[in-house]
């Protein structure tokens, strides 16, 4: 009998085949992203298992999310390494508390509204919370902190990504996942 997946971000339990299917990429692409001199995907030691002469991956939910977000940004024309670092702004980096700005916990959606990854051309990305009544100008301004001259942005709806990943992996939907 197959056990149910555990709904925790840091439990290594998912296969690279699952990651590829959810992200819409093939296995050679994922292997390329992992094996680069400067890897595009930030694997932790516990996600790599030695089985004889071979290495097997057991990925965490956090890593699956990073792979899916990276694939979305690569489809928009970003380099895999750059896309992965932008994705890590959501999956692996917790925002510092700033006055008037809701703090983002790594790998988690904001409890209300949309959680968006706003990526600028200059190598910067921000995770912002967009409420139903927020104007698009406010949302974009939140993603432009420190770079008011940016003229192009890529926006990833992290609620949608989270919903897609959790549905595929048969995990319960988390707070904010229903906002897609």
**5 or 124: which leads in pLDDT:** 124
Q: Per-residue pLDDT tens for 28-73?
A: 999 999 999 898 998 888 888 766 667 788 999 999 999 999 999 9
Backbone angles phi, psi at 54, to 5 degrees: -105, 155
Other C-beta atoms lying within 10 Å of the C-beta of residue 63 = 25
To which H or E segment does residue 94 belong? Answer: none
CA distance 100 to 31: 41
The string of pLDDT tens digits covering residues 7-27 is: 789 999 999 999 999 999 999
CB atoms within 10 A of CB 179: 19
Backbone dihedral angles phi then psi of residue 35, each to the nearest 5 degrees: -95, 5
Phi/psi region, residue 95 (left: phi>0; alpha: psi -120 to 50; beta: rest), is beta
Looking at residue 1, what is its pLDDT? 46
Identify which has the larger pLDDT, 64 or 179.
64
118 three-state secondary structure = strand
Per-residue pLDDT at 101: 61
Residue 77's contacts (CB-CB under 8 Å, 6 or more residues apart) are none
Across the range 148-174, mean pLDDT stands at 87
* Residue 107, φ and ψ in degrees, nearest 5: 80, 5
Cα end-to-end distance, the chain, whole Å: 33
Specify the pLDDT at position 3.
63
pLDDT in tens, 123-139: 788 888 888 788 777 76
């Amino acid at each position: 009998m197959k056990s149910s997946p555990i709904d925790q971000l840091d439990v290594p339990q998912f296969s690279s085949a699952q990651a590829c299917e959810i992200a819409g990429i093939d296995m050679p692409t994922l292997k390329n992203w992992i094996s680069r001199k400067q890897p595009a995907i930030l694997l932790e030691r516990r996600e790599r298992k030695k089985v004889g002469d071979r290495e097997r991956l057991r990925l965490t939910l956090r890593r699956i999310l990073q792979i899916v977000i990276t694939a979305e940004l690569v489809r928009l024309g970003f380099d895999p390494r750059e896309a992965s670092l932008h994705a890590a702004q959501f999956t692996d980096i917790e925002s510092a508390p700033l006055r008037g700005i809701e703090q983002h916990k790594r790998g988690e959606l904001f409890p209300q509204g949309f959680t968006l990854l706003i990526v600028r051309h200059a190598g910067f990305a921000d995770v912002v919370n967009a409420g139903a009544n927020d104007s698009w100008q406010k949302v974009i301004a939140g993603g432009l902190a420190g770079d008011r001259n940016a003229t192009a942005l890529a926006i990833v709806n992290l609620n949608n990504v989270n919903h897609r990943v959790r549905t595929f992996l048969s995990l319960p939907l988390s707070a904010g996942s229903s906002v897609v």
